Structure 1
Amino acid sequence: MRSVHHPTLDDLRLPDVLHALSDPVRLDIVGHLASAGGEECACGALCTSVSKSTLSHHLKVLREAGITRTRANGTHRLVSLREDELEQRFPGLLGSVLGAVRT
C-alpha cells in the first residue's frame, strides 16, 4: 500500500481548511474524530450515510487540507484528527467550528 501525503504544519492554509470544513459530511467526520478523543478510527466506521467512494473522496479532502492524518494498518486505513497541529497553526478555529456544529 502506498504512503499518503500529509501537508506540514507550515503548509496548512486557512482557505483549504475552511473549504474542507464547509461540507456537512466532512463536518460529521471531523465531529466523529473529535469525539474519539485523539484515537484513530477505521475509515469504514466514520460515515455510513455515503458510499465508500464518496467517503474516500471526503477523507482525501480532509487529509490534503491538513485536518486529518491517515495511517495504513495492513489492508485498513486509520484516520485521526490533527487537533494539536491545527490548534497551533489556527488557534481556536477547530474548537469554534465544532462548538457551532454541536449547538
Structure 2
Amino acid sequence: MTPTPQRAAGTSHRTAPVHADLDQVTLESALLALADPVRQTLVRELATANDWERSCGTFDVPVTKATLSRHFAILRDAGLLEQRDSGPKRLNRLRRPEFDARFPGLLDLVLAER
C-alpha cells in the first residue's frame, strides 16, 4: 500500500485555480464571459472592492454554489478574475489593469451599463 502524502497544516484540499494567460484570451471569450448577468454582477462588485477583499461566498447572486463556481471559472478563463486560497476561503481579485491592457475600454463599457 502506498502511503498518502501529508498536507501542510492549514492548506486546502482544493486544487489551486488556474488563471488564463491574457495574451491567449480572445475577444469572443471576453465578450461571452461579460454577457451573462450573474457574471456582470460579480465583475461590478469586484470592481468596487479592494483586491483580495471578497471571498466567493460573499456574493449575493441567485444561483447555487456549483453554478457560482462555474461562473468564477468562466471569468478566470476570460482573464477577468484571479483567485487565491486563504484557509477555507477563496479570495478574488478583478484583473482590471491586465484586462484593460488587453481589451482597452471593454470593462469600462460593461461597468457603465446598468
| TM-score scaled by length of structure 1 | 0.89
Number of the residue aligned with 2:74:
61
Map 1:1-80 to 2 at 5 A: 1-80=14-93
- Stretches of 4+ moved more than 3 A in 1? 37-40
What code does the residue aligned with 1:91 have?
P
Runs of 5+ unmatched residues, structure 1: none
Distance 1:47 1:67 in 2: 19
The Cα of 1:10 is off from its aligned counterpart by 0.9
CA RMSD in angstroms comes to 1.3
The Cα of 1:9 is off from its aligned counterpart by 2.4
| TM-score scaled by length of structure 2 | 0.81
Runs of 5+ unmatched residues, structure 2: 1-13
Q: Which has the larger radius of gyration?
A: 2
Higher helix share: 1
Count of aligned pairs between the two proteins: 101
Distance 1:84 1:67, change over 3 A: same
Distance 1:48 1:97 in 2: 18
Distance 1:64 1:58 in 2: 10
Distance 1:92 1:37, change over 3 A: farther
